[in-house]
Amino acid sequence: MPSITEPLLVLHGDADALIPHSQGQALFELHQSDDKQFVLIKDGQHHLWNTKMPIYIKAAIERFTNQSLP
């Protein structure tokens, strides 16, 4: 991961019982790009798309792509 410099968006639920969001944060910190965002989804489980989370996920992806892509 340290050698990758492409834009990065990490989405992680704060209620993920499978993978703690601290591990998502650690992965984010390893990434060397200046163009990166970590989004912690409140009440998000491991499968973010199984609830009302797609609304928040779509908004985060749109923000990221609007800022990161030419």
Containing 36, the helix (H) or strand (E) segment is: strand 36-41
| CB-based contacts of 57, cutoff 8 Å, min separation 6 | 11, 41, 48, 49
What are 33-55's pLDDT values in tens digits? 888 999 998 888 888 766 667 78
pLDDT band at 58 (very low <50, low <70, confident <90, very high): confident
Asked whether the whole model's pTM tops 0.85, one would answer: no
Distance in angstroms (rounded) separating the CA atoms of residues 62 and 32: 22
